[in-house]
Structure 1
Amino acid sequence: MLRHLMRSVIFAQPVQSSAVVVSVGARQLSTAATRQPTQQDKLVFYSEEEGYIRLSPFDPIEPVNLTVDKYVWRDFKKFEKDTATVCIVSGRQYTYAQLRDNSAAFAVRLQTKFKLGCGDIIAICLPNLPEYPIATLGAIEAGLTVTTVNPIYTAEEICRQLKLSDSKFVVTTTLGYGVIKEACELAQKNLPIAVIRSQPNEKLPAGAIDFFELISPRGVDYSQLKDYNLDPESVAFLPFSSGTTGFPKAVMLSHNNMTVNGEQMEIPFGFRQSGRQEVLPAVLPFFHIYGLNIVMLSKLSVGAKLVTLPQFRPDDLVKALSEHKSTMVNVVPPMALFMTNYPKLTQDMVSNLKYVFIGAAPTAESDIQRFLKKFPQTTFVQGFGMTETSPLVLLVPPKNVRLASTGAPVSSTEAKIIAIASECHKGLGPNTTGEICVRGPQIMKGYLNNDEANADIFLPNGWLRTGDVGHYDEDGYFYITDRIKELIKVKGFQVPPAELEGILREHPKILEAAVIPRPDEVAGELPRAVVVLREGTKATEEEIYNYVAERVAEYKRLDGGIVFTNEIPKSLTGKILRKQVREAYTS
């Protein structure tokens, strides 16, 4: 680790003059003064090659070197009789013992009935249902790689993901079957599609496979399950992310990436050793890395009870928090604002709620204070991550008073600030604004079949560019103030402007288009289109809106409005000058 290599060079930079001030650790130090460095100082290191690097204040960890399924199941005997998942709508539930048996049965049938083998890709396109872990862990146990698909995607969006991932099998719902079937036809793939029926009276669509038959322990011979003895460094998941720019890309996350991130979340809180069963509403979608790893996989590994919400409905969340006596909840900023403002949710109803974890976008300190005023018994914990980092890289330690900070590097993780748009990648000192870069064992293997994107996001020596602009203070805690990447964050979901601009330019009446974020109190941001029409044509906002809405998921729709203009500002090389567009058309 760099931590050991740099011990000899801390404070070793040469003194230029007595007037120079060097920002190191807890406070600014005049180079004319001498004193013993504090423990906090030792977490900010300097070297001539790398500059300033912020190390983790948390205990270091080693990779567990287990595949994801073995990591989740390693302690399940301790809580096999406990409820693992329960649906807030139907009440359908599974104990840990049932979850384990059903997952293994699914793994056997994927191998024997469908002849899927090591490294084949399975696409899971589901809302948050109690069967989601069964599909995921069963596929992983069968030696497959899982790509998670947003169930509200259009057929065109799903088609793109099926083709890029080269999926061989799909799991979806009765309602989603038609879209999946259309996506397969567009991709020219004749894939087996297993369907989960959420209600007993739902009919199995013609041509679909009954998922419940595939996971039933009846008649299954578990001895037929082939253990490929996978290398934990092999790819376990292929979630899709827009990275710092452009169309969604397949992110290769290894078993070790995922499991070490579970441990990085566990170390500060000790859920595994708490002696109680944690209970949490699983409202953040499992297809998103935040819901997949931080909510689902890491919490199943410690025996938690997941109350699954297939969609966000206020009364369902209140029911999950109150009736199920939730001890923690993972949210994005709009959900935290909802909890603060929703009159039906009171402090007395959530007396068991201890931890509130928030991520996906920065949260204003004033909003956190209002939340804590309503729910003073809770510990509010901010974190930061990306799909490319499995996702957690920064975390505010429990009981920390820095409400506006996104935290310090998690265990065995390093972070630094580099100058924006510079060839120099040396880390800058405290209170200096730049791009946040991170490295650690949770960093992805790379984007699948995309050398150009990999070259853009990776820096020498294992550093990954986040595309986010920020700084760290004298104590080494990071603050995100802006972002380089042009992604629009709608309720925590990433909307790449390039994707919407490509769709807009396909409209026969549109010559040019730029998509920018419009601030919104509820969603955080909404996509707004700035459009130049072709000469001699006319179009209405409704026409353009509907054209895009038919081709994208709901959260990508142009709900921020459509503005018609004569010209979009561009650089000499033809690149859209987004800052100028935002300044002109955001209000």
Structure 2
Amino acid sequence: MTTTYLELIHRGAMAHGPRTAVVFEDQSLTFDQVQTLSNQLAHTLIEQGVTRGERVAVLLNNGLHSVPVDFALVKCGANRVPLNSRLSLAEHRRMLEETQCNYLVYGADLAERARELSGELPELICHGLGDASSSGIDLLHAAAKASANAPKVEVSDDDVVLTLFTSGTTGTLKAAQHTQASYAGICKNVLLNLIAVEQDDAMLHAASLIHASGVFVLPFWSRGARTVIMRGFDPDQFLQLIEHHAITAINLVPTMLQMLMASPGFASTDIRHLRQVIYGASPMPRPVIDKAMELWGRERFWQYYGQTECPLAVAVLRPEDHKGELLGSCGRPSIDVEIRLVDEQGNDVAPGEPGEIAVRSPSRMLGYFNAPDLNQSMFLDDGWLRTRDIACFDARGFLHIKDRTSDMIITGGYNVYPREIEDVLMAHPAIAECAVVGLKDEKWVESVTAVVALHPGAEVDEQQLISFVASQVASYKKPHRVLFMEQIPKTTVGKLNRKALRDTLNA
């Protein structure tokens, strides 16, 4: 038996009891308090019928109870199914039905959505945190009377503890399953490759804790460090909290970093304690990272490449490699991750040739929930997992991602990778953000189409941008059209939503 998620929770509590573990606005919890509350919540959930392996949906915005609720579900042996609160009622219902959840834990501020879901799914039992619905109880009220001791629930390495819907844009509903062992593997992966957490460290979280940001909680918990949580991302407040809490690490997606740099306080913020600015989730435009490093120093910036299916760091670009053409890469493979580049049949491609990234790691998911055909297509022999990302290795072992297979444009028989064209466009001073998609075309099958949003007050026309791109790439890669929008559509975690854009424009 390997180290489990549950064991790491108990170890952290035992080692760091009186220290501050979680901070939210003007409230905080020590390690002892998180341990006690999560034990009480776990007992309460068990009393309400939640059994080992039970899938329990969680509809909870960032807050003081984010960590205790997650830990409670691990302690009662449940399988957590986080729901992003920004999604629609129809999307939430579909996720609950697809994962066959009978229970929902929700925050008081999301009580109305819980009632809507209860009305549409009469079998769903909804338990609130500071709220009680007709089908469930107020968990916080009931937990106050429950035992403070840890429940005696047996767990095994392959128990599924997390079923997380990916933010992929292929249109296929996919729920990646992580186990007691794989989630512990994720914690080790972060500590081994990305961040050497020290006891007095603090990480500031503004993005939703149900996605990549939340992955950092357990490593910080294990080392006795603080998790500082915001309701949501506000650039000015974010900068203020970096100073106020002596934050040592932050995790950002590119759009968040762009918004921070647009804040008047960016250049003057006291960042003496800030050692790491960690970013990932989507490609970082070169002008953005160049400007950020100029203002905050190259030594602070760390990039990771990973997926929900194999978090967090499949590859890492360290600060010393944030230069020149290496900035176009996502770094070298993590120490505990194996990477192969394969063709459509799963065979290794020739050295130097692009291929689909396949990974094998202790942090790799068990598989997608209730999707045998998808699992068969995504898994190769001996535990290798396809990623649908196309990349190549350079002579020094740095991984350069070309694009996702689902986003690749085939125009006139040639393959065009949108990211390559987007990188060129983002170097134009007038462009704030852009996305490149392939639209249906009778002659070319797909025509390369750029959708751009300009900086306020900037002016540039379609032909100027086409010429700008044509001067830097092969002729067949240049956009046939350039469309102007105020804002590019994004997924709920801030990634460019090429699929939604492509579907809208092809309609």
TM range (shorter): 0.7 to 0.9
Structure 1 pair 456/244, CA: closer, same or farther in 2 (3 Å)? farther
2:213 aligned partner: 291
Q: Deviations over 1:395-451 (max 9, x none)?
A: 1245334333212221221112223xx325214313x22222211111111111111
1:423 aligned to 345, 359, 374, which one? 345
2:139 aligned partner: 211
2:338 aligned partner: 414
Counterpart amino acid of residue 220 in structure 1: A
1:103-502 → structure 2 map (5 Å cutoff): 103-112=38-47, 114-196=48-130, 209-216=137-144, 219-222=145-148, 226-241=151-166, 245-268=170-193, 271-272=196-197, 274=198, 276-288=199-211, 290-293=212-215, 295-376=216-297, 378-397=299-318, 399-401=320-322, 402-419=326-343, 422-423=344-345, 425-430=347-352, 432-486=353-407
Query: Which has the bigger relative contact order, CA under 8 A and spacing at least 6?
Result: 1
Q: Deviations over 1:519-567 (max 9, x none)?
A: 5579xxxxxxxxxxxxxxxxxxxxxxxxxx9xx997899999999xxxx
Counterpart amino acid of residue 142 in structure 1: C
Q: Is the Cα–Cα contact under 8 Å of residues 339 and 359 in structure 2 kept in the other structure?
A: yes
Q: Deviations over 1:361-398 (max 9, x none)?
A: 12133322211111127421111111111333111245
1:527 aligned partner: none
Q: Is the Cα–Cα contact under 8 Å of residues 167 and 491 in structure 2 kept in the other structure?
A: no
Counterpart amino acid of residue 351 in structure 2: G
Q: Is the Cα–Cα contact under 8 Å of residues 244 and 466 in structure 1 kept in the other structure?
A: no
Q: Deviations over 1:161-217 (max 9, x none)?
A: 1122222322222231111221233234231321347xxxxxx6666632322443x
Q: Deviations over 1:278-327 (max 9, x none)?
A: 11111121122x1221x222222222211111111122212221111111
| Matched residue SS, 1:104 | helix
Q: Is the Cα–Cα contact under 8 Å of residues 518 and 560 in structure 1 kept in the other structure?
A: no
Give unpaired runs (5+ residues) of structure 2.
409-417, 420-436, 438-448, 456-488
Is 1:77 matched with 2:14?
Answer: yes
Q: Is the Cα–Cα contact under 8 Å of residues 73 and 301 in structure 1 kept in the other structure?
A: no
- Cα distance in 1, alignment partners of residues 243 and 143 from structure 2: 31
- Cα distance in 2, alignment partners of residues 556 and 285 from structure 1: 11
> Which protein has the bigger helix share?
2
- Cα distance in 2, alignment partners of residues 349 and 214 from structure 1: 43
Q: Offset at 1:468? A: 1.3
Q: Offset at 1:345? A: 2.2
Q: Is the Cα–Cα contact under 8 Å of residues 79 and 303 in structure 1 kept in the other structure?
A: yes
Q: Offset at 1:338? A: 2.1
Q: Offset at 1:72? A: 2.6
- Cα distance in 1, alignment partners of residues 407 and 154 from structure 2: 41
- Cα distance in 2, alignment partners of residues 562 and 285 from structure 1: 21
- Cα distance in 2, alignment partners of residues 107 and 559 from structure 1: 37
TM-score of the superposed pair, with normalisation by structure 2? 0.77
- Cα distance in 2, alignment partners of residues 562 and 142 from structure 1: 38
Q: Offset at 1:99? A: 0.5
| Matched residue SS, 1:134 | helix
Q: Deviations over 1:141-170 (max 9, x none)?
A: 011111111011211111111122222322
1:67 aligned partner: 4
- Cα distance in 2, alignment partners of residues 456 and 123 from structure 1: 27
- Cα distance in 2, alignment partners of residues 178 and 475 from structure 1: 54
- Cα distance in 2, alignment partners of residues 399 and 211 from structure 1: 48
- Cα distance in 1, alignment partners of residues 154 and 241 from structure 2: 38
Counterpart amino acid of residue 383 in structure 2: G
Q: Offset at 1:133? A: 0.8
**How many residues were matched structurally?**
436
Q: Is the Cα–Cα contact under 8 Å of residues 337 and 360 in structure 2 kept in the other structure?
A: yes
Structure 1 pair 338/185, CA: closer, same or farther in 2 (3 Å)? same
Q: Offset at 1:244? A: 7.4
* Farther off after superposition, 182-191 or 96-105: 182-191
1:525 aligned partner: none
1:95 aligned to 17, 25, 30, which one? 30
Give unpaired runs (5+ residues) of structure 1.
1-63, 198-203, 490-496, 498-515, 523-548, 564-577
- Cα distance in 2, alignment partners of residues 270 and 160 from structure 1: 36
Q: Is the Cα–Cα contact under 8 Å of residues 356 and 387 in structure 2 kept in the other structure?
A: yes
Structure 1 pair 347/556, CA: closer, same or farther in 2 (3 Å)? closer
Q: Deviations over 1:478-525 (max 9, x none)?
A: 122221124999xxxxxxx9xxxxxxxxxxxxxxxxxx9945579xxx
Q: Is the Cα–Cα contact under 8 Å of residues 177 and 368 in structure 2 kept in the other structure?
A: yes
- Cα distance in 1, alignment partners of residues 179 and 2 from structure 2: 10
- Cα distance in 2, alignment partners of residues 342 and 556 from structure 1: 18
Q: Deviations over 1:45-84 (max 9, x none)?
A: xxxxxxxxxxxxxxxxxxx823313213313333222221
1:512-527 → structure 2 map (5 Å cutoff): 518-519=451-452
| Matched residue SS, 1:349 | coil
Q: Deviations over 1:7-65 (max 9, x none)?
A: xxxxxxxxxxxxxxxxxxxxxxxxxxxxxxxxxxxxxxxxxxxxxxxxxxxxxxxxx82
Structure 1 pair 425/307, CA: closer, same or farther in 2 (3 Å)? same
- Cα distance in 2, alignment partners of residues 108 and 469 from structure 1: 46
Q: Offset at 1:336? A: 1.6
| Matched residue SS, 1:391 | strand
Q: Is the Cα–Cα contact under 8 Å of residues 143 and 227 in structure 1 kept in the other structure?
A: no
TM-score of the superposed pair, with normalisation by structure 1? 0.67
Structure 1 pair 558/357, CA: closer, same or farther in 2 (3 Å)? closer
Counterpart amino acid of residue 128 in structure 1: N
- Cα distance in 1, alignment partners of residues 12 and 311 from structure 2: 22
Counterpart amino acid of residue 416 in structure 1: R
- Cα distance in 2, alignment partners of residues 347 and 485 from structure 1: 42
| Matched residue SS, 2:390 | strand
| Matched residue SS, 1:251 | strand
Q: Offset at 1:471? A: 1.4
1:16-35 → structure 2 map (5 Å cutoff): none
| Matched residue SS, 1:86 | strand
| Identity between Structure 1 and Structure 2 (%) | 21
| Matched residue SS, 1:366 | helix
